[in-house]
Structures are given as structure tokens and as C-alpha cells.
């Protein structure tokens, strides 16, 4: 008979215990671990244990599953602790970036609102100034119309008309002759005067207003305004207006630029309608009465603005021929403001007018 089952099991357990113990001890010795780490548990479970080799690995945890198997977790705790710290750092960075963007957006919006408010205020002031100027001009036009009516004067829009204009005065020796002739033929003219000359010839200026002529601005010192800065442009215009008004009580409604020169700065800063011309007699250059006469009568048409200068005796002589001849041809001799109104033009500050055809 062979060995009984109980005997065979006992011997197998002994053999495995002896072999497992030897192998564990050898393995522990080769890995440099103490013998206690390689020991085989009693009960014959030698194959279920795992030895840790090498001292460079993190501490291991050995957990049994109740079935003779063990699981080793290496360095688990350190890795689990690193995760929340990194997440917190990322959250802080995100919060800082969000705060920066919010601050930048707020600053941009504040700047935009400030710029918009400034633009609105500037527009409001410009509109208010324009309204005040329009009201002033309307009041002055009404006053002048009343003065013309008192003189028994009417302008017929259906009939041809021209505007005789004289620059650079006052100059009584010439201006008074021109006004004498105009009075004889029922005509009116516009005198563009230099402010610094007005005080010296107040009597002539007062006569202009009394007889229904238009007094107008030609700058204070006849400076070419396109060569001046903003402050000087405004001063040249306002000082001339002040000088004329101080002498005769009428503030000019229109102006003529010295030499007719302008640029965008001039247009933006005179704050008055600017009257140019479409017939230039060149009387300042020729100083010849007949040439001045020819330059007018050879091409004059309804709505023309004729440029002459009050300073020259030859211009006075030419006017003695031009005025009666134009009247004979059926032209009404009117002021700039009269012709603009008759032709349906609303004179606007900052704009140029060279004729009313």
C-alpha cells in the first residue's frame, strides 16, 4: 500500500517550507535586504510573498487580499499630495489673469466714455456758438433791412444786380467821391475796411452806415491770414469787428481775407462768411482808370462780385464811369448782404462766396 493522503500532504508542506525559506533567504541576500524581509510565513504560503529588491525604491505597502496574494504600492502618497497643489496654483493664476483682464477692460471703457463725453461737449459748444452767431447775424440783418426800408430802398430779385466792393479803406479822398456817385444813381456798395485805419476816418465810416452801404471786415492789420496761427487769425478778425463797431455802432456781418488767401485753419477760425470775387479789376496793379473800367464793363453779369480798392485815385475815377453805366444797363447796385438775400443765399460762417450767379 502507498502512503496515506495525510502523510503525503504533511511531507509536501515540509518540503515547500524548506525550499521556500532557502529561496527567500538567498533572494534577500542578493538584494541586500535583511533576512527578516525575505522570511516565509508559517503555514506554507511561501510563493505568495514578494521581495523588494534594491534600496533605491520608495517604501512599499504590502496588503493581503485574503487569498494568499499581496499588492505593493510604491510612492502612492507623494503623488496624491502633488495633484491638489498644482490645481490650486493653476486656479490662482487663472484668477489673477481674470482680474487683470477685468481691470484692463474697465480702464478701456472709462477712457472710451471720457472721450465720448468730451466729443459730445465740444459738439454742444460748437452748436451753441453757431446758434448764437446765427441769431446775432439774423438780428443784424433785420436791423439793416429796417434801415434800408427807412431810406425807401427796395431790391427787386427779378432784375439783374451786381455788388461793387472796395477794399483797404477807409480813404476819404476816394471813398467820399464813390459815395457821392452812388447816391446820385441810387446805388449801394460794400466797403471792406482795415481795422487799424477805421479810427482815423470815423466820419467817413459813419457816412457809409448812414447812407445804407455795408461796412465789412478786412482784418485788423491786413496780415495774410493763411500765414498766421489760430490765435492771430481770430484776433485779426475780432479786433477789426470791434474797431468798426466802436466807430459806427454796426458790427460787420461779412469779411474779405487779405489777398483772398486761405487754408483750412483760416476757414475754421474766422467764424464769418468770407467774400471773394469773380471780377478782379487789378486796379491796385494798373492804377489806370480806363483799364479798370474795361475790366468791369467788358464782362459783367447778373450776380457778379466786383473787386476794387478804395486807396487809389484812379479807382475813384473809374467808379465815376462804372456806376452810371451799370445803372444804364439795368443793373441794381447792391451790397453783398442784399444780393445774397435776393438770390436766396444764406451766408454761413466759414464758407467762401465768389459770386451769386
Supply the residues annotated as catalytic.
Answer: 167, 309
**Cα four-point dihedral sign 259, 181, 151, 207:** positive
**Which of helix, strand or coil describes residue 192?**
strand
Question: Do 214 and 337 contact (CB within 8 A), yes or no?
Answer: yes
Q: Which residues, at least 6 apart from 33, have a Cβ–Cβ distance to it below 8 Å? A: 51, 52, 53
CA nearest neighbour of 356 among 209, 148, 157? 157
C-alpha cell, 35: 533576512
Beta-bridged to residue 274, according to DSSP, are: 255, 352
CA nearest neighbour of 295 among 334, 275, 321, 276? 321
Question: Do 302 and 330 contact (CB within 8 A), yes or no?
Answer: no
Q: How far apart are CA 70 and CA 49, in angstroms?
A: 7
Q: How far apart are CA 27 and CA 38, in angstroms?
A: 7
Q: How far apart are CA 272 and CA 253, in angstroms?
A: 7
Burial status of residue 255 (CB atoms within 10 A of its CB: 0-12, 13-18, 19 or more) = buried
The DSSP symbol for 152 reads T
Question: Do 154 and 295 contact (CB within 8 A), yes or no?
Answer: no
Amino acid at each position: 500500500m502507498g502512503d496515506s493522503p495525510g502523510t503525503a500532504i504533511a511531507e509536501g508542506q515540509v518540503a515547500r517550507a524548506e525550499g521556500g525559506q532557502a529561496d527567500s533567504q538567498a533572494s534577500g541576500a542578493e538584494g541586500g535586504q535583511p533576512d527578516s524581509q525575505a522570511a516565509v510565513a508559517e503555514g506554507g504560503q511561501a510563493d505568495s510573498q514578494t521581495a523588494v529588491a534594491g534600496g533605491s525604491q520608495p517604501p512599499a505597502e504590502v496588503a493581503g487580499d485574503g487569498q494568499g496574494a499581496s499588492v505593493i504600492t510604491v510612492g502612492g502618497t507623494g503623488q496624491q499630495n502633488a495633484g491638489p497643489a498644482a490645481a490650486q496654483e493653476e486656479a490662482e493664476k487663472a484668477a489673477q489673469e481674470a482680474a487683470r483682464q477685468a481691470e484692463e477692460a474697465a480702464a478701456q471703457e472709462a477712457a472710451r466714455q471720457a472721450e465720448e463725453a468730451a466729443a459730445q461737449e465740444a459738439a454742444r459748444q460748437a452748436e451753441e456758438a453757431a446758434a448764437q452767431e446765427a441769431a446775432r447775424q439774423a438780428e443784424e440783418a433785420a436791423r439793416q433791412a429796417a434801415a434800408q426800408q427807412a431810406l425807401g430802398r427796395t431790391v427787386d430779385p427779378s432784375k439783374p444786380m451786381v455788388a461793387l466792393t472796395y477794399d483797404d479803406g477807409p480813404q476819404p479822398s476816394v471813398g467820399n467821391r464813390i459815395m457821392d456817385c452812388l447816391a446820385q444813381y441810387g446805388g449801394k456798395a460794400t466797403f471792406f475796411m482795415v481795422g487799424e485805419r477805421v479810427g482815423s476816418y470815423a466820419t467817413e465810416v459813419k457816412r457809409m452806415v448812414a447812407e445804407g452801404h455795408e461796412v465789412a471786415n478786412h482784418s485788423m492789420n491786413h496780415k495774410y491770414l493763411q500765414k498766421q496761427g489760430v490765435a492771430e487769425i481770430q484776433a485779426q478778425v475780432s479786433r477789426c469787428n470791434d474797431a468798426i463797431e466802436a466807430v459806427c455802432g454796426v458790427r460787420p456781418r461779412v469779411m474779405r481775407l487779405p489777398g483772398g488767401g486761405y487754408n483750412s485753419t483760416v476757414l475754421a477760425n474766422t467764424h464769418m462768411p468770407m467774400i471773394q470775387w469773380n471780377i478782379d479789376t487789378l486796379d491796385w496793379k494798373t492804377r489806370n482808370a480806363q483799364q479798370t473800367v474795361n475790366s468791369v464793363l467788358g464782362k459783367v453779369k447778373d450776380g457778379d462780385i466786383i473787386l476794387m480798392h478804395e486807396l487809389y485815385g484812379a479807382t475813384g475815377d473809374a467808379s465815376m464811369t462804372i456806376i452810371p453805366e451799370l445803372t444804364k444797363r439795368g443793373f441794381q447796385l447792391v451790397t453783398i448782404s442784399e444780393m445774397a438775400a435776393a438770390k436766396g443765399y444764406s451766408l454761413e460762417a466759414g464758407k467762401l462766396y465768389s459770386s451769386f450767379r
